[in-house]
Chain A
Amino acid sequence: MTWLVWRQHRTQAYFAAAAIAAFAVLLLITGRQMASQYQAALTACAASHTCGNLANTLNLGSPVVSFLVTLTVAVPCLMGVFWGGPLVAREVETGTTQFAWMQSVPRSRWLAAKVGWALLAAAAWGGAVSALVTWWSSPVNALKQQNFQPSQFDIQGIVPIGYAVFAVALGITVGALLRRTLPAMAITVAVFTLLRLVVGQDFRSHYMTAVTKTFAFLHHLPLPAGSYWQVSGGVVGPGGHISSSTLAGSGAHLSIDGLPVNLVSLPAACRNLAFQSPQKFFPCLTAHGYHGFIAYQPADRYWAFQGVETGIFVLLAAALIAVTAIVILRRDA
């Protein structure tokens, strides 16, 4: 079976290998440049004692390459659409299952070989892209401390492997159910994108209970160390959280230490001071029992989160493959 799978998909494999080789060359060259640029900037700022501000002053790498790197977020989806979607659907559509299934090999072995190699390829290619991006991003990660933020979290570490395996499994399953290639490809894009958004926005922040820090106004914001991920933040009043970035209601907003606050929810005595006399505004808030807070996931939870998210998508992929197996083995050819 492996021979047939290879014969059928070797063109795709060559194409994907060429694409990844080109991408690797680009990232290896620009990544090395960026690493030396960062080292030079570190040496220079150490001499002038300005390293604290380096994240705001240093621009690492070219915007084009950075953009290309952020685009790798689409790689798993593309694999799901172009590898997963047609894998079973095209064979059913063109009738070649009737050829393959009438050789002296049980359907279960046919399916196992095809699905097994497809998922392995997804993991390998997803992992290769992610490894390159992760390595390339290391100076940026060190400088900006943003690799726990959704835009970076999704393209670095091991989660792209989970996404890729899931996307290909999704494509295979939808294809096996619909038995038509194009609708399978379209539905794969839609379902994959939707699920990634829902998991990223609604589930991920709850993998572990966020750490909350409170602070008095006009004191230096005690930022957590390293590349933490801020989940929410805002102002706490005597009656609890009155406003936060996730709870902001309608009405005029202002920003206190970078945290958005709904003005209407502040005590009336302080409200007018916000614009007339900022020096009295914050003491007024403090006097009324208000203080700021942020809720965040500490930097050292990064790999735990990567593991949980990868595990979720791999388990979903396993469930989908089980569905495919039932469909292929039970249904008429």
Chain B
Amino acid sequence: MMASRDPVAIQTRGLSKLYRRVTALSEVTVTVPEGRISALIGPNGAGKTTLLRVLSGLARPTSGEVAVLGGPPSQDPAFLASIGFLAQELPLYRRFTAEDHIGIGAHLNSRWDGPYVRQRLESLGIPLDQPVGTLSGGQRAQLALALTLAKRPRLLLLDEPVAALDPLARRQFVAHLAEAVADGGLTVVLSSHLVADLERTCDHVILLAASRVQLCGEIDTLLAAHQVLIGPSKDTTAIERDHTLVHAVRTPRQTTLLIRRNGPVADPAFEISDVGLEELVLGYMGQQAGPASAHLTMIGEGQ
């Protein structure tokens, strides 16, 4: 595993967030290098929203360290200008038009690309002069995304950004994001509970489950480090000793193992295949659901 040479956009250490007695984040340690599109994946209630809100500065951690673009999230205008955060609820002023929102952005931001929003909405056929409340859910999502991008942030934090979009619009939006990242100077973290939406575009993944990090790293590195073994139902102690077992499905006739590899797999009884992101994610989520076997696995840069 190669240590990444890119500067770090997000670094948290032992980050925890408690709401009264409910733990939303527990000992979250993640690193996202600059220039990545990171998929923040996890089931509902895993803490994805809380993590994004802490990174944006909207919420404060209960304990632990957070560094975003080199410093802790703050109310400093320069920090705010460099962060684009879009909440899942797509918070917009329902009685204002898109044009009103462009005006607000122009007044409240030192760096603001109003023409970009207009052009983007026009190309999508979204009216600029209608109250936002009268737009469809998908149109509102496109407007909110365009307004978030118009700040020209260095870090984009998007909470379930594609949830309100139809499949075609999802694909187009993710492609649009990839273009923006390719233009340089932008890092994206976007959350979703659907892996399929993100697999094509993301190059980094953070898997949260039950407020803990299950997996964090470059997708390619992670996929290369894992393998699926399918074989007869037999004793797998030897494999478990040599490699790290992530998840096992045992039926009377067949055993399917997801392992993190330590060197080549020697057992000829098993058919060895590469793992896909969805399989990997489900494996780690299944592991988390299992009894007492849950443990933090950190793979990727810095190790």
Interface of A with B (CB < 8 Å)?
A: 1, 3-4, 7-8, 94-108, 329, 332-333
- Partner of B108 from A4, A98, A333 at Cβ < 8 Å: A4
Known: A3-B103, A105-B77. A8 touches B58 (CB 8 A): no
B215 to chain A, nearest CB (A): 27
B53–A7 contact, CB under 8 A? no
Q: Which residues 76-110 of B have a CB within 8 angstroms of A? A: 76-78, 80-81, 83-85, 87, 89, 91-94, 96, 100, 103-105, 107-110
Known: A3-B107, A7-B104, A98-B89. A104 touches B81 (CB 8 A): yes
With CB as the reference atom, state the residue of chain B lying closest to A332.
B59
Cα A107 to Cα B78 with chains together (Å): 13
Chain B residues within 8 Å of A101, by CB = 58
A106–B75 contact, CB under 8 A? yes
B110–A104 contact, CB under 8 A? yes
A86 to chain B, nearest CB (A): 13
B104–A96 contact, CB under 8 A? no
- Partner of A95 from B59, B91, B108 at Cβ < 8 Å: B91
B109 to chain A, nearest CB (A): 4
Cα A312 to Cα B78 with chains together (Å): 40
With CB as the reference atom, state the residue of chain A lying closest to B144.
A99
A96–B92 contact, CB under 8 A? yes
Chain B residues within 8 Å of A104, by CB = 77-78, 80-81, 108-111, 151
B132 to chain A, nearest CB (A): 11
A3 to chain B, nearest CB (A): 4
Chain A residues within 8 Å of B76, by CB = 106
Q: Does B243 contact A (CB under 8 A)?
A: no
Q: Can you give 9 A-B contacts (C-beta < 8 A)?
A: A3-B104, A4-B104, A95-B89, A99-B92, A102-B84, A103-B104, A103-B109, A329-B75, A332-B60
B151 to chain A, nearest CB (A): 7
Q: Does B56 contact A (CB under 8 A)?
A: yes
Known: A98-B58, A98-B91. A7 touches B85 (CB 8 A): no
* Residue among B89, B93, B110 facing the most chain A CB atoms (10 A cut-off): B93
Chain B residues within 8 Å of A1, by CB = 107-108
B80–A108 contact, CB under 8 A? no
Cα A98 to Cα B89 with chains together (Å): 9
Cα A107 to Cα B85 with chains together (Å): 15
A96–B58 contact, CB under 8 A? no
A98–B109 contact, CB under 8 A? no
B262 to chain A, nearest CB (A): 42
With CB as the reference atom, state the residue of chain B lying closest to A105.
B108
Chain A residues within 8 Å of B93, by CB = 8, 96, 99
Known pairs A104-B108, A106-B76, A329-B75; list 12 more (Cβ under 8 Å).
Answer: A1-B108, A3-B103, A3-B107, A4-B107, A7-B100, A8-B93, A94-B94, A102-B58, A104-B77, A104-B80, A333-B53, A333-B58
With CB as the reference atom, state the residue of chain B lying closest to A7.
B100
With CB as the reference atom, state the residue of chain B lying closest to A107.
B75
Chain B residues within 8 Å of A100, by CB = 104, 108
B59–A102 contact, CB under 8 A? no
Cα A133 to Cα B56 with chains together (Å): 50
Cα A3 to Cα B58 with chains together (Å): 23
Chain B residues within 8 Å of A106, by CB = 75-77, 80
With CB as the reference atom, state the residue of chain A lying closest to B87.
A98
Cα A1 to Cα B105 with chains together (Å): 10
The 7 nearest A-B residue pairs measured at CB: A103-B108, A95-B91, A104-B81, A333-B58, A332-B59, A106-B75, A99-B91
A69 to chain B, nearest CB (A): 35
- Partner of A102 from B85, B94, B96, B110 at Cβ < 8 Å: B85
Cα A104 to Cα B103 with chains together (Å): 14
A332–B89 contact, CB under 8 A? no
A102–B77 contact, CB under 8 A? no
Cα A329 to Cα B105 with chains together (Å): 21
B77 to chain A, nearest CB (A): 5
Cα A96 to Cα B81 with chains together (Å): 18
* Residue among A7, A97, A98, A102 facing the most chain B CB atoms (10 A cut-off): A102
Chain A residues within 8 Å of B85, by CB = 98, 102
* Residue among A4, A104, A107 facing the most chain B CB atoms (10 A cut-off): A104
- Partner of A103 from B53, B56, B80, B96 at Cβ < 8 Å: B80
With CB as the reference atom, state the residue of chain B lying closest to A95.
B91
Chain A residues within 8 Å of B80, by CB = 102-106
B91–A333 contact, CB under 8 A? no
Cα A100 to Cα B93 with chains together (Å): 10
B94 to chain A, nearest CB (A): 7
Chain B residues within 8 Å of A105, by CB = 77, 80, 108-109
